[in-house]
């Protein structure tokens, strides 16, 4: 069996060479796989007896699909790397914050919008953050400015355009989820203009509310400490390992 597949404007001819069969347990919680050669009888492909799939076989398949499985340098901020997933932490720091409020979402908050626009382009203190790139980008806050452990509790990142940590990309094109692209993911987050509160609720426990909280972060000369972040950020039920394993 030959199949013609078009990649862009260039058709390519492919011939069936291997088959992978997936087996699933009755409770659908476990899977097994076998890889089979293809024999031909009277010109027709027939699946030959197979062998359990090995890591080497999967690597050959991934390479054949155009993915590079070669080794690469892992920066110290990387926490976990998987197929189409990379998680890392970013230390606290002073960075610019950008706003482009969409009145479709916040038409009743003109006074708040005016205050946020005064902060547009200003430097504020960002908390340490956890990034997880897997079918999009998730962002969570950390209380301590240090490499987190698997059991480290995560906090809600106090920014617009995040829903349960997931970033609303709009028309933003995110790169492939690999360690080499973490700087591009960070740039996509830090350089984007926040348009609306995707959470729909409060983003900080600060007594003065969200605008006062951001104004305080812009005005501070000394970086906030762990106690400040714990007092002003909402804790989640998630830990670093929860998020890495779930990949939802």
Q: What is the pLDDT of residues 24-37, one digit of tens each?
A: 888 887 888 888 98
**225 Cβ partners below 8 Å, 6+ apart?**
none
- Domain definitions of the chain by residue range: 2-64, 78-246
pLDDT value at 9 more than 70: no
Range with the largest mean pLDDT of 3-17, 46-60, 224-238:
224-238
Q: What is the pLDDT of residues 143-197, one digit of tens each?
A: 999 999 999 999 999 999 999 999 987 667 788 888 889 999 999 999 999 998 9
Q: Give dist(CA 85, CA 176) in Å, integer.
A: 9
Concatenate the DSSP letters of all residues of 62-109 into one string. HHHTT---S-----TTEEEEETTEEEEEE--EEEE--B---HHHHTT-
- pTM (two decimals): 0.74
pLDDT averaged over every residue in the chain: 87
- Mean pLDDT is lowest, of 74-78, 142-146, 183-187, 224-228, for 74-78
Confidence of residue 140 (pLDDT cuts 50, 70, 90): very high
Res 43: pLDDT? 81
Q: Give dist(CA 67, CA 60) in Å, integer.
A: 10
Res 55: pLDDT? 67
Percent of the chain with pLDDT over 70: 84
pLDDT value at 248 more than 60: no
Look at residues 63, 64, 119, 128 and name the one whose alpha carbon lies nearest to residue 91: 128
pLDDT value at 112 more than 70: yes
Res 188: pLDDT? 92
């Amino acid at each position: 069996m030959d199949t013609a597949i078009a990649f862009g404007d260039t058709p390519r001819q492919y011939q069936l060479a291997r088959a992978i069969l997936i087996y699933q347990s009755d409770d659908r919680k476990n899977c097994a796989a076998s890889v089979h050669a293809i024999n031909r009888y009277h010109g027709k492909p027939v699946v030959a007896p197979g062998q359990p799939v090995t890591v080497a076989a999967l690597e050959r398949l991934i390479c054949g699909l155009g993915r590079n499985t070669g080794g690469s340098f892992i920066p110290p901020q990387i926490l976990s790397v998987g197929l189409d997933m990379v998680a890392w932490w970013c230390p606290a720091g002073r960075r610019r914050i950008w706003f482009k409020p969409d009145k479709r979402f916040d038409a009743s908050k003109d006074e708040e919008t005016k205050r946020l626009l005064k902060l547009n382009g200003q430097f504020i203190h960002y908390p340490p953050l956890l990034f997880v790139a897997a079918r999009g980008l998730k962002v969570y806050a950390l209380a301590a400015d240090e490499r987190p452990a698997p059991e480290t509790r995560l906090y809600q990142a106090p920014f617009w355009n995040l829903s349960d940590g997931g970033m609303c990309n709009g028309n933003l094109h995110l790169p492939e989820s690999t360690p080499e692209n973490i700087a591009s993911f960070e740039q996509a987050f830090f350089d984007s203009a926040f348009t609306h509160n995707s959470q729909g609720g409060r983003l900080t426990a600060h007594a003065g509310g969200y605008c006062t909280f951001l104004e305080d972060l812009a005005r501070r000369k000394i970086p906030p400490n762990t106690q400040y972040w714990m007092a002003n950020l909402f804790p989640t039920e998630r830990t670093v390992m929860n998020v890495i394993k779930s990949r939802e």
